[in-house]
Chains A and B, each alone.
Chain A
Amino acid sequence: MSARTKALAAAVLAATLVLAGCQAVKQGAADIIASTGKVSQADAESLVKTADAVRTSFAEITEEEEYYIGRATAALILSKYKAYPNAALSGYINTMGTAIAYSSDRPETYGGYHFAVLDTDEVNAMAAPGGFIFVTKGLVERCPDEETLAAILAHEIGHVAERHGLQSIKKSRLIDAFKLIGGEASRQFDSETLAKVTGVFEGVLGDVVETLVERGYDRKFEYEADKLALSFAVRTGYSPGGLSEFLAGMEDNKPSGPAAGWFKTHPSAADRLARVKSGIGALGEVPAKDAARTSRFSAAVKALR
């Protein structure tokens, strides 16, 4: 066996053993790498250590973790605003939202998509990680038809599909979390580690909720969600004009006072409108509005008016 083959075989074995994550074999792996004579024992150990490094970015948050972050975010939003108590409206918005999610780039999340109307005159829409999506009563009242509401839901599904909420978590906090979590051997935390992990979890929620409710996403995420909204809506069978119509309405008749939540968390409607219009222009043939959709929309939101 050539030295090269030997080194390769050793590297494959070492990598596999490191993946196995077992301390005893890790030392063995370092010994094997060192035994090829190509690297020193110290270098070999540091190589193994690097390969064993804990997770470092939002992309490595698991679907299940995303779900628990989303549930807690939703619980905090629902402690600030109550869900509008109307089963028919809730059924309508959940059916519409699920249909759009099915046509999105990410139809499946750990706990699935869920939609709720918040009982407030503020005009806003929010998506918690994993698929908990909220639209306010004030926003629904501004929608003239199903096309516009579908566009808003599609925009929020875009935020979920691209995991924008998770990207608002401060990097240092993620690194803290991954360090704590990575050091644990089993799925159950001991009480000391549990307290620390829960502390980091609270910090994570602070980052996400502040972004969703107070500060808003980075502008580039809003533009991206608009782009996805057009695509998801059209794939579902909706006219993409719903989004431009909603934005034009926001520009012509700006909500004020306590209704202004939207403007706190979204870039100017005029900016978005220009981009959305050019996005629609690039789509080619698209579905038209439909009278059957508009009439069922009117029936579903009647309770609000």
Chain B
Amino acid sequence: MKKPARMAFLAAAVLAVFVFLLAETLVVKVKTTTVRSAPKFTASVVAKIKTGDALEKLAAESGWIKVKTKAGLVGWVHATAVQAKKINLSAMDDTMQTQASAGEVALAAKGFNKQVEDKYRAGNPAADYAAVDAMEKVKPTDAEIEAFMKLGHLGEYGGAK
């Protein structure tokens, strides 16, 4: 067997094992979200997690994924908040160089980001970002949503058909 081919085979074997090990790892893709005690948004909070946090996938059920956090806490996240961890060798080099968490690096997509927003804002003072920030600040709490559902006979509090 020629040397390059043997090297290729070995590398592929090593990578296959590596891919297998990473297969069940998920990364949070939203800014912040919550790991909950049951697969529904009204369930109690197990942990708060943020972009780039890595989670171990344990099970899946109708749009929800059972996960284990880095701290070992087990609960449920909605599938739309996470993505499968991408294998990115160049990102791994970065990890070693910068000591950033693997998740952060995997999600550190370049593109339309804060830097672009800042540049855009500088040239477009009429765009009312202060009003957008105010809009983002309004965040109903879990308790408020639960009370709203209860009073309005919605969701699990629903009755009349």
Point out residues on A near B: beta carbons under 8 Å.
1, 5-6, 9-10, 12-14, 16-17, 19-22, 25, 31-32, 35-36, 61-65, 67-69, 71-72, 74-76, 78-79, 82-83, 90-91, 94-96, 98-99, 102-103, 105-112, 114-116, 132, 146, 177, 181, 184, 186-189, 194-195, 197-198, 201-202, 204, 236-238, 285-288, 290, 292-293, 296
Given contacts A184-B110, A287-B161, 10 further A-B contacts (CB under 8 A): A16-B12, A74-B131, A75-B129, A83-B134, A103-B155, A110-B29, A187-B108, A201-B120, A290-B152, A293-B154
Cα distance A47–B49 when bound, in Å? 39
Taking the closest CB of chain B, its distance from the CB of A143, in whole angstroms, is 15
B152 neighbours in A (Cβ, 8 Å): 146, 237, 290, 292-293, 296
Contact between chains at B108 and A90 (CB < 8 Å): no
Contact between chains at A237 and B153 (CB < 8 Å): yes
Cβ contacts B122-138/A at 8 Å (1 or 0 each): 01101111011011101
Among A13, A32, A115, the most chain B Cβ lie within 10 Å of the Cβ of A13
**Cβ-based interface call for B119 (8 A):** yes
Contact between chains at B87 and A19 (CB < 8 Å): yes
**Cβ-based interface call for B21 (8 A):** no
Among B31, B93, B152, the most chain A Cβ lie within 10 Å of the Cβ of B152
Q: Given A68-B114, A72-B120, A198-B120, are A288 and B161 neighbors across the interface (CB < 8 Å)?
A: yes
A184 neighbours in B (Cβ, 8 Å): 110
Q: Is the interface of A mostly helix, strand, loop or mixed?
A: helix
Q: Given A32-B8, A62-B109, A189-B110, are A19 and B155 neighbors across the interface (CB < 8 Å)?
A: no
Q: Given A10-B5, A75-B132, are A236 and B113 neighbors across the interface (CB < 8 Å)?
A: no
**Cβ-based interface call for B17 (8 A):** no
A105 neighbours in B (Cβ, 8 Å): 80
Cα distance A65–B105 when bound, in Å? 16
Q: Is the interface of B mostly helix, strand, loop or mixed?
A: helix
Interface contacts (Cβ under 8 Å), in number, total 218
Contact between chains at B145 and A95 (CB < 8 Å): yes
Contact between chains at A286 and B161 (CB < 8 Å): yes
Contact between chains at B31 and A111 (CB < 8 Å): yes
Contact between chains at B89 and A17 (CB < 8 Å): yes
Checking A95, A202, A204, A285 against B140 with a beta-carbon cut-off of 8 angstroms, the contacting residue is A95
Can you list 20 residue pairs at the A/B interface with Cβ under 8 Å?
A1-B6, A13-B12, A16-B11, A19-B87, A19-B89, A20-B88, A25-B89, A69-B112, A72-B117, A79-B131, A94-B139, A99-B149, A103-B155, A108-B81, A115-B135, A184-B110, A197-B116, A204-B112, A237-B149, A296-B151
Cα distance A82–B150 when bound, in Å? 32
Taking the closest CB of chain A, its distance from the CB of B7, in whole angstroms, is 8
Per CB-CB distance, the 10 closest pairs between chain A and chain B, nearest first, are A20-B89, A237-B154, A75-B127, A78-B131, A108-B81, A237-B158, A9-B9, A78-B128, A12-B12, A95-B140
